Structure 1
């Protein structure tokens, strides 16, 4: 019996949201060598060793993609289902996703992963705008298992060297501000994430960080909410976990609601 499939339009609606499934790229090495870009938030897995790693996904929703969504991904999906996962095949595979203009991640500057396969990032404490927006972007589009450390500014570079962490949103590092662009802009550019929705969010993040609200009033709302979150939590990691939902909301607004006209109830004149 053929494996169940997930269509590209359906997956496009899930990517970037908390409802996104685990996405596994099981393309053959030859195909990956031709186009090394990655499906967003995906992990590359060797289909030949699926019996070894399939149990790690028991109980999870998984979408499997090979180059064209055929034999390799169907075999992997079947093995995952046998191991207790709810696995489907991306219809048309990587090629169909690319043809539809789905966002893809360039691996050129992908940070190294730790023993558990996670990327490790470090920045200064008391996150506000960029230092929450960037972790949101990484977890939703690059590495869902990414780990973030928040430290005193003087400790960031030393910890980065000692623990193999990637510093971001501090002065003088690769993943930082460039001219008028904020770190969120830098990440979109370096990861090659081309999306009208993400570009709209970048404009809001950039203006919220610089205090320029005239043309993008939503930036003032993001700043106000970010400052509120910073007063609600003394622990930076707890604040990050809570504030991620704020960026989920801005993503949905930027994707689905930005052109909608609110149907405010008509005001009745006083009696």
Structure 2
């Protein structure tokens, strides 16, 4: 059992990717982080001796503080946050404990320096699924620009944004796989649930409904959302709810069926 004001790696893993996920603050000192420069999905780096600068952004939110071993640095920083009324815990066992449990870690080298992303306007599937993945597992503060297809790369250059889901960029289709798959590969986010969801996204995005029976439904919902919303950002916010639900299905409910009235004759 986790100690006082701490959370286990498995307990935290159940929260990562959901709307209930706490703010994840990695305060490992540079030598410790350099020994394994990877981040727990959704975490961001911050100096332990500047933890109080985060307080204005943490009011009313839950936070988990992460150091290498889950000892003095994270315990002290979490306790300091609690002095300011923040609901803060430390990760039991720290980053090393997370790795020992075989849980996913994102290589810091692949993370963009900016939280700004850009893609083609009028999104359908990949261009909504990828922002959901980024916000839930990589950077909760990520912002997304939807622009004319011909201007994506120029906008990326001028505004320091990372382009995705267009030809010739890093995060795009690769062979028979789609951009969502590329993010899972490069961010090392392969889990049973995300791989199951990726199959549905790939089937819907590449018109391969044979890959998963849910693919046709996702296509229908995605086309419906694109017709319902003229504003791409409004569509993205609605789509976030859809993918939140799909992730919970992929994680917890994929083997559940529905039959009512029960035992009816065909």
CA distance in 2, matches of 1:3, 1:87: 11
Q: Is the 8 A contact 2:203 2:210 kept in 1?
A: no
Within 5 Å, which residues of 2 pair with 1:1-271? 4-113=5-114, 119-262=115-258, 264-268=260-264
Are the equivalent residues in 2 in contact too, given 1:3–1:77 (CA < 8 A)?
A: no
TM-score (norm 2): 0.94
Alignment partner of 1:108: what SS?
helix
Unaligned runs of 5+ in 2: none
Q: Deviations over 1:36-91 (max 9, x none)?
A: 11011111110022233333322210011111111100111011112231101111
Relative to the length of structure 1, the TM-score reads 0.93
User: Quick one: distance in 2 between partners of 1:59 and 1:31?
Assistant: 30
Q: Secondary structure at the match of 1:87?
A: strand
Change (3 A) 1:268 1:155: closer
Would the aligned equivalents of 2:71 and 2:93 in 1 still touch at CA under 8 Å?
yes
CA distance in structure 2 between the aligned counterparts of 1:219 and 1:55, rounded to whole angstroms: 42
TM-aligned CA deviation for residue 30 of structure 1:
1.3
Asked if structure 2 preserves the Cα contact closer than 8 Å seen for 1:55 and 1:80, the reply is no
Deviations 1:124-161 (A, max 9, x none): 10011100010000000000000000001122111111
Q: What secondary structure does 1:98 align onto?
A: helix
Q: Conserved in 2, the CA contact under 8 Å of 1:176 and 1:183?
A: yes
SS state of the match for residue 169, structure 2?
coil
Partner Cα separation in structure 1 for residue 211 and residue 135 of structure 2: 29
C-alpha deviation, 1:265, in angstroms: 3.0
d(CA) in 2 for partners of 1:165 and 1:51? 29
